[in-house]
Amino acid sequence: MFTLSHVVAFALSATGASAVPADCAFDREALLKLDYRSFDQDTQGGWRALAGKGCDREAADLIRDWRLQHNDNRDILLWHEGQSRAFDGDYEAAASLFEQSRKPAEDRIGWNFYVDGSVAFLRGDMAKLQAARASLAQIPKPLDWDVMKGVDGKLLKAKWPVNLNVLDGFIRCWGQRYRDAYGCPHQTP
């Protein structure tokens, strides 16, 4: 026998929407007062603690509000807001934010190809996703890559080219939600 909660759960899963997690409460004022590093780069705090609980819409809105309050439109903040919106299923808003995160002409790590591939995935354009993936794969590794440090001062440990694994996941998990395809596991033989 189906209850109303079964019908709602089925309807939500069929549309790709997700139920709002019960514990998305947070101290908005305290988080809005954080400096950039504490707000965006702390993997245990800032907006990430909220997103880690599955509160993607709330995290996206918080990032937007922090950006506006601090008059800070760094490309990575736009990207993180976009990702949170994509995880929540708002692909149009996510694509727009991703587009705004583009790097200027000097793009040593192929960020703009990553943007192209991510937007193509959100818009359902496999040909553009594959073209972006191919372009990203051709970016030469910077000579100083192995000694580059992240914002935390530690050596970067990302495989080269950066984000190629994400575009590969989008291709492997084509047709799935961004949330699932973003972390799409490697296929085993």
Orientation angle between helical segments 111-122 and 164-172, nearest 10 degrees: 20
Percent of the chain having pLDDT more than 70? 85
Q: Which residue has the higher pLDDT, 133 or 150?
A: 133
Measured distance CA(113)–CA(146) in Å, rounded: 21
Contact at 8 Å (CB) between 97 and 61? no
Contact at 8 Å (CB) between 75 and 102? yes
The pTM (predicted TM-score) of the whole model is 0.83
Matching residue, tokens 């191919």: 134
Q: Where are the domains of the chain?
A: 26-101, 106-184
At 44-99, the pLDDT tens digits run: 899 999 999 999 999 999 999 999 999 999 999 999 999 999 999 999 999 999 99
At 97-128, the pLDDT tens digits run: 999 999 987 788 999 999 999 999 999 999 99
